[in-house]
Chains A and B, each alone.
Chain A
């Protein structure tokens, strides 16, 4: 039977019970959601825009016109944090392709656990740094490199 009645009093008892239970659930969820948002808003607000990809933004002008850049990190790229940084860097620098599997590129982004390790790496590669970010990320270039 189709109900065209809008007054809940006229609804069958089964519908009344069901409606009351769902309404109770909605009220509980609304309180829970409001309390959660009220709790995280002041905590997250200053940090809400801490997007790891922003650490790579200042490198973008140096890489303009390049199709590829190598990406080197001394950490395991498949661990959560290094992978997060790679994907967020890729997001920020798109349409540039970051290649973590092949650093035989003219430009390579070196994102090591600390600065001395990064310096040691690009010295070992015989490359020169062309840009560095305040977060210890280097863009290195091998001008003589031919693919």
Chain B
């Protein structure tokens, strides 16, 4: 129960930040609720990291006081009228919103059961993410030992936002209990489901959009992946949040929405290496679309400046991590283009392409990807590629090309094993954004 306190602090932090940034452009209450919780979790991870960067150790009192100081500062900035606006947002919640929230909450029941069966999560959870969280929480000033070259199997060169979020919750207890990662693995899919529904609802006003998250999170394989405590959950959540912000920017013609979008991209970049690639691609594609004459509604220069600056702010931990801490990990990368012993071959590329295709049509997804493809096909090319939605297909296609190239060129691992163990998670992180695209394309 003690962990409700950091949860509430994070949520309030996200809410006040969102209100301070979006001002009079805040969307509906349900979307604000899920965006605030998402932003709050990211900010809490960010603030927890400052303790390590500034004090070279975890100081729970410092982290909690930093949260409270920022909350107070935001309260002062917003003033009485700003806080009253937030209260009026709460009053705007309708019965339909509460019913939808109930349906979304029911989705986490199977995940709760699964996380109780496997409290330590999947391989990457106990192998990398939770081990890093324990180093951060228990290591004192030796926390940076988690970058020791002897630990290369723990993926020392990976960023670590999810462990930091877990550590933030642990700040309220004396032990690194597994209840926190196990609870987080239910909360993040819940936020993803809620954000997907509330984003679709905000953009279409259609309550039947509740079908989208229900379709995703009733799938047994997705329940299993969701309860695995992997960082891919956060990548999927931040990508979805960034996409919703970009669509709101384009439809409501307000560059304010690019501020949280950029911050989500920066946070995503600090989540894992895949997130770094996805964040960079999304930023580049979004800037390209803003420059594109057809898509612009506001000052292009200002929009690009806002997006780039907020992404840079969100990615600040990543920059510090790369420049000060990240060790070179030669065990996980061999350039197949130059290596004589492990060359990249056409057969390897063919294997990647076949396995990618096989993954998309695999029975474990219960036809989810085929369904998304069918919805897009029914919607037609023009609605799928209309100005407000172009970012999603651009990012998804470029990311899949990048992943294919990485699998083909990095010959450090046996390709069949590597694809078997990682491709499903890469595809999993893209589902919420792909579903957003399909439902929006079909709706209008």
Interface residues of chain A, those whose CB is within 8 Å of chain B, are: 1-4, 6, 8, 11, 14-15, 18-19, 21-23, 25-26, 28-30, 32-34, 36-37, 40-41, 44-45, 48-49, 51, 53, 67-68, 83-84, 86-88, 90-91, 94-95, 97-99, 101-102
On chain B, the residues within 8 Å of A1 by CB distance are 444
In the complex, A105→B425 CA distance in Å?
38
Q: Select the stretch in B131-139, B260-268, B316-324, B338-346 that faces chain A.
A: B131-139
On chain A, the residues within 8 Å of B127 by CB distance are 87-88, 91
A11–B208 touching, CB < 8 Å: yes
In the complex, A48→B131 CA distance in Å?
19
In the complex, A130→B211 CA distance in Å?
59
The contact of B117 among A6, A29, A48, A95, by CB within 8 Å, is A48
Distance (Å) between the CB of A101 and the closest chain B CB?
Answer: 7
In the complex, A19→B367 CA distance in Å?
15
A41–B113 touching, CB < 8 Å: yes
Distance (Å) between the CB of A49 and the closest chain B CB?
Answer: 7
5 A-B contacts, Cβ less than 8 Å apart? A2-B204, A11-B208, A25-B367, A26-B215, A101-B150
Q: Select the stretch in B27-35, B164-172, B217-225 that faces chain A.
A: B217-225
Residue of A4, A6, A15, A91 most packed against chain B (CB within 10 A): A91
The contact of B119 among A6, A15, A49, A102, by CB within 8 Å, is A49
Q: Select the stretch in B43-51, B140-148, B188-196, B401-409 that faces chain A.
A: B140-148
Check if B151 is an interface residue, CB within 8 A of chain A: yes
Interface residues of chain B, those whose CB is within 8 Å of chain A, are: 96, 110, 113-114, 116-120, 123, 126-127, 130-131, 134-135, 138-140, 142-143, 145-146, 148, 150-151, 153-154, 204-208, 211, 214-215, 218-220, 223, 366-367, 371, 375, 378, 442-444
On chain A, the residues within 8 Å of B443 by CB distance are 2-3
Q: Which residue of B lies closest to A93 (CB)?
A: B134
B442–A37 touching, CB < 8 Å: no
A51–B110 touching, CB < 8 Å: no
Distance (Å) between the CB of B142 and the closest chain A CB?
Answer: 6
On chain B, the residues within 8 Å of A23 by CB distance are 211
On chain B, the residues within 8 Å of A40 by CB distance are 117
Known: A3-B443, A48-B116. A94 touches B139 (CB 8 A): yes
Known: A3-B206, A18-B375, A33-B110. A90 touches B118 (CB 8 A): no
B134–A95 touching, CB < 8 Å: yes
Distance (Å) between the CB of B11 and the closest chain A CB?
Answer: 28
Give 6 new A-B contacts, CB below 8 A, not counting A1-B444, A15-B208. A15-B442, A33-B223, A83-B153, A94-B139, A95-B146, A97-B151
B126–A95 touching, CB < 8 Å: no
In the complex, A90→B150 CA distance in Å?
11
On chain A, the residues within 8 Å of B146 by CB distance are 94-95
Residue of A21, A25, A34, A98 most packed against chain B (CB within 10 A): A25
Distance (Å) between the CB of A79 and the closest chain B CB?
Answer: 12
Q: Which residue of B lies closest to A87 (CB)?
A: B127
In the complex, A76→B117 CA distance in Å?
29
In the complex, A43→B89 CA distance in Å?
47
On chain A, the residues within 8 Å of B444 by CB distance are 1-2
Known: A25-B371, A30-B218, A97-B148. A86 touches B153 (CB 8 A): yes
On chain A, the residues within 8 Å of B134 by CB distance are 91, 94-95
Known: A26-B218, A37-B110. A67 touches B117 (CB 8 A): no
On chain B, the residues within 8 Å of A11 by CB distance are 208
In the complex, A11→B204 CA distance in Å?
13
Distance (Å) between the CB of A23 and the closest chain B CB?
Answer: 7
A48–B143 touching, CB < 8 Å: no
On chain B, the residues within 8 Å of A49 by CB distance are 119
B145–A33 touching, CB < 8 Å: no
Distance (Å) between the CB of B224 and the closest chain A CB?
Answer: 9
A2–B142 touching, CB < 8 Å: no
A45–B117 touching, CB < 8 Å: yes
B126–A29 touching, CB < 8 Å: no
B113–A37 touching, CB < 8 Å: yes
On chain B, the residues within 8 Å of A90 by CB distance are 131, 151, 153-154
A26–B207 touching, CB < 8 Å: no
A29–B219 touching, CB < 8 Å: yes
